[in-house]
Structure 1
Amino acid sequence: FGAAWAAWIVDVEVNPENGAVRVAKVWVAHDCGQMVNPDGVRHQVHGNVIQSTSRVLKEFATFDRRGVTSLEWGGYPILGFPELPEIDVLLLDRPEQPPMGAGESASVPSAAAIVNAIFDATGARLRQVPFTPERVLAALRSAQA
């Protein structure tokens, strides 16, 4: 047996003036073998897309030599509801296979899919998450040099 897998296609909007990236739409194909509860799998995939998109675009904690310095979560950067992408899920039900579990498998392609969509839109390569506006602007400047 293997693990569940997923593939993403991402449509992004990149503002060249301020470096802001908006993930407008995500298409996800997800294969977890036989699906016992397809609605549950679809909801799990939606959650994976939202959480991993937030991680890729915004989330980070600060550290110093002694440890974590981000001590309160009220200011922790996450996607807000207006920033959520449209999500289209294709579930690949394979009833001849054993159930493999949906878990977080749909989040695995997130960073690669988003960074490659940014590259496709701008020609700029980013190499470190999160893809903050500051990092996007630096990559845009580097791509133009």
Structure 2
Amino acid sequence: MNFAPLDTSLIEQRLRDQVGALEEVLGAAEYSQVRELNGYRMGTAYVVLAAERNPAGAGPQAQRKVAAEAVFGVVVCTRNYRDTVGGAAQDEAALIAGQVRGALHGWAPHGWKPCIWLQANVLDSDQSRVLWLDVFTTTHVLGGTP
């Protein structure tokens, strides 16, 4: 039985296959290594598991399997090459965000409920880069598949 956290490598592969505008798709380990905005490579997405929780909470629990609601983010670094305030970079960020959302919203690997888009935020920007975050949720099963 598998009690591992959500397998974000499946999400990474989905983005590689579906979002041609991305040059590279990496995971949380690579994301955690970057210390400054200029350390992010433009055209790169990072898939990061943010949280998991048991939706049954303190209620009765199954002995062998339990649902796990997972929240994950896709952080994309895009180019800001047209102005100094970040507004024009929104064009590129919006284009890639739309492709990311199209690839993930409603998609469900075996054993998952369909991914649902929750929200988005600009994390940071400067004269050359903008970091855009899209947040999604899904449910998978710890201890097996439904």
TM-score category (smaller protein): 0.3 to 0.5
Which structure carries more relative contact order (alpha carbon 8 Å, separation 6+)?
A: 1
Q: As a proportion of its length, which structure holds more strand?
A: 2
- After TM superposition, the score normalised by the length of structure 1 is 0.35
- After TM superposition, the score normalised by the length of structure 2 is 0.35
